[in-house]
Structure 1
Amino acid sequence: MPAVTPDESAESSVPRRLLAVATRLFAEKGFDRTSVQEIVDAANVTKGAMYHYFDSKDDLLAEIYARVLRLQMSRLAEIARQDGPVAERVRRAAADVVVSTIDNLDDATISFRSLHQLSPAKQREVRDERRRYHELFRSLITEGQERGVFTDRVPADIVVDFYFGSVHHLSTWYHPEGALSPQQIGDHYADLLLTALQSA
């Protein structure tokens, strides 16, 4: 593997710095109350450098959402393609999305509060990415229903919408100093989902 030169390392760190700073500022102040100038000043880059990587503040917000979703999608795809009982795969997937959301709580907070402020085109992109994730998760529910492992009294679409509605609200109440660890909360969420899906 070729060595990375200092210039290449510095170059690649610019978008990471911009995203790190934007994430902190958006979480602290809100997307609409954070200016591009504040972001570039805190990241110690010029506006020209920012616009080299991101066309707008919208792009920063969309990428903050997308990077967590990419992580979650990768982990869900790995769980979905594994062998083993479908109920266990659903349990792992359900707990994982809770844990990964808590592990990226600033991103989740920003997404919950600010995604509606994206341009219509960016909102469509975000919805498309989220829909692909939900569709893969739903395919596990459907598999369990078809095998008779899960009840089919409630359509899989509604099950998925209900579950992720709860997950998306984590940022409104979770506190790191709470009594339960992220994994414990994830396990409780997964238990609730599996209990609701139990076949009669």
Structure 2
Amino acid sequence: MPSEPGDRPAVGRKRRKQHARRQEVLDTAARMFFERGYDGTTTQDIGAALGLLKGSVYYYISSKEDLLFELIQQYHDDTRRHFEAILASEGSPVEKLRELIAVDTAHAARNLERSTLFYTEWRSLSEERQAVIIAERSRHERAVQEWITEAQASGRIRPEVDPKIASFGIFGMVNSVYRWFSPGGRKTAEEIGRDFSDLILDGLIDPAG
């Protein structure tokens, strides 16, 4: 039977409404996980905050862990996109280091709820899902170590710097932002990102290089 002319717009509106409602569920879950912790929040809590019965929440998600994984994955995907752009750029190793530090720091500060979940609650995921996070983190660490090694070969970074230890120090700084950043503070996320990149690179670069 042919569809009526108004059928497709109606279907489109319904899908947009469902998508918006599902995003609302995700945003509410992110806020509650951030405020109460993952273990301290139930799907019933999330449903109540949205004015939904517990059973209605499962229309939008399969489980509480699925919610957490999707939230972490959203943050992860954003991080991966700017990482891939830096990898593909024509910048020097030092320029890539500077950009990654600045962008990663600012991204974590601008997205406090999701960055906090990414760094504190990922161990609540299944081992299989944890492996996805660990693999991506390892890619970032290897890239930073390679950039440091390349910059040492060209005389830009001090030869006594241990690339592996330096990479751990870099990510230790960047990954700490969620603990103390205040959106209403004296500096913006972007300013702190630039400050971090200047501070780190000033400690790595060989003045004679």
Q: Given the two structures, how large is their TM-score scaled by the length of structure 2?
A: 0.82
For the structure 1 residues 145 and 98, does the alpha-carbon distance in structure 2 shift closer, same or farther, using more than 3 Å as the test? same
Question: Structure 1: which 5+ residue stretches go unaligned?
Answer: none
Which amino acid counterpart does residue 182 of structure 2 have in structure 1? Answer: H
Query: Which residue does 2:104 correspond to in 1?
Result: 97
Find 1:113's aligned residue among 92, 97, 120: 120
Query: Which residue does 2:168 correspond to in 1?
Result: 161
Query: Which residue does 1:178 correspond to in 2?
Result: 185
Which amino acid counterpart does residue 166 of structure 2 have in structure 1? Answer: V
Q: Deviations over 1:64-121 (max 9, x none)?
A: 2221221122112212222233322221111010000001011122233322333333
- Would you say how many aligned residue pairs link Structure 1 and Structure 2? 199
For the structure 1 residues 9 and 138, does the alpha-carbon distance in structure 2 shift closer, same or farther, using more than 3 Å as the test? farther
In the alignment, does 2:22 pair up with 1:19? no
For the structure 1 residues 60 and 142, does the alpha-carbon distance in structure 2 shift closer, same or farther, using more than 3 Å as the test? farther
Find 1:55's aligned residue among 62, 66, 77: 62
SS at match of 2:171: helix
Larger Rg: 2
Query: Which residue does 1:37 correspond to in 2?
Result: 44
Q: Distance in 1 between matches of 2:196 and 2:82?
A: 18
Query: Which residue does 1:75 correspond to in 2?
Result: 82
Tell me if structure 1 keeps the 8 A contact 2:101–2:174.
no
Query: Which residue does 1:196 correspond to in 2?
Result: 203
Q: CA RMSD, aligned part only?
A: 2.4
The alpha-carbon deviation at position 36 of structure 1 amounts to: 0.8
Q: Distance in 2 between matches of 1:91 and 1:70?
A: 21
Identity across the alignment (%): 28
Q: Distance in 2 between matches of 1:15 and 1:132?
A: 31
Query: Which residue does 2:153 correspond to in 1?
Result: 146
The alpha-carbon deviation at position 50 of structure 1 amounts to: 4.6
Query: Which residue does 2:194 correspond to in 1?
Result: 187
